[in-house]
Amino acid sequence: MTSPLTPTFVATDIDQIKDATGILAIFVPEAGTLDATARRVNRLTRGAVARLVESDSFEKMAEGKASMLAYPVNVAAEGVIVVKLSRRPDMGVARKAGAMIAKLADGKETHVLCGNLRRAEEVALGLALRVYDFNDHFTKDATDPGAVTFMVNDPDAATKAAEANGAIADGVFFTRDLVNEPANILTTTEFANRLDELSKLGLKVKILEEDELTKLGMGSLLCVGQGSDSPSKVVVMEWMGGDKADQPFALVGKGVVFDTGGISLKPAGGMEDMTMDMGGAGVVAGVMKTLATRKAKTNVVGLVGLVENMPSGNAVRPGDVVTSMKGDTIEVINTDAEGRLVLADVLWYAQETYNPIGMINLATLTGAIIIGLGHENAGVFSNNDALANAFLKAANAEEEGAWRMPMGKAYDDQLKSRVADMKNVGGRPAGSITAAQFLERFVKPETPWCHLDIAGVASLKTESDFAPKGATGWGVRALNRLIADNFEGE
């Protein structure tokens, strides 16, 4: 699978610049003043850097953006990337600058000449995230990106600062790989096997098979996968890096490895994108990998329900009534509203088993959230203002778009059923909200809870700041920060 690029940090040596190969990247603040490193490169380019910096185009350029000078500084070097960035940039701008370098360098060997720039480790993270390319299924051998070297004043300090960011990149890449993988490769069994491999990092991984799920009474989850040859599973990942007496925080993910819609069959056009309907489970897996890699001093449990939603002679039908682990009965009105059926049982199991201090579930749950928020923001639904605000603060800090949506009894009333305790859909109006209301029925009142509908942000048809087309890894950074800032000891 794809591995994050790991930049190397070395001490600044201006004399080595003239012998550098590949691409050089330098930073110039908004004022346009060249530091010693930039001045050296300017001399090697016979003033080309100064001419660019003094131009109207550079003056109008936003901070964090860059231009490529196709001007060789020596026989081996191919060009210079000039990045507009203040010496003490904001974290987000620094990361975007790194992503811009990666995009312009296009996989070539790169030397990033930091000079007296602060936040070199954040530039490195942005660069590493943007280098990602999912190429596992091309028949031609993939070309690995060229080495990236950062010249900094204190390489030891920069290397140490970059370690935590390296763990974040590991988690984001793991999530992207899972979400990008085709469904004939990432079956429920293969998904579970990949999560089981995380035990090598110190996670305790438990896989619950169908016979165990039946004994637990997970009729809501099991009905979704009963039409598929792939067995339904629940995978539990425990990271207990905090005090043994502390309640864990719980992350719950929807893992529908492929969603045809079941008997309520989706239109053929675009159905190939439903390989990403396990995006919630992918984010949970990525966060758990990040926490384990950086040895987080906290207790977190990640739980994912893995199913495939297929039409067959054994598939659940519209009008069927199933019984959840909680004991509530559900009239299945639409078999394409299957993610909430999976999450209902996993949410209840998480609370019954771990009594978590708080709980967040993630799911590519509704197309309605895309109508409401587009591809810029995930929908945030919650029963607890403190947890919702803490998550929104973390998402904002990481520049992962999120927007809180309303909930209320009037929406909940749309789930009333004539033949069961509830039905699994509430109609077209407020579809993402009624989906959240359904989930809240399986959350104990005393459990702080958020539901994140990530249907619009998990995978994109266009490139974004930190990712090419396809899986984004949205949520790994925000959830890692939420846990670090609110649930982690010193």
Q: Which residues are catalytic?
A: 266, 340
CB count within 10 Å of CB 209 equals 12
Q: Phi first, then psi: what are they for 185, rounded to 5°?
A: -95, -55
Residue type, 400: E
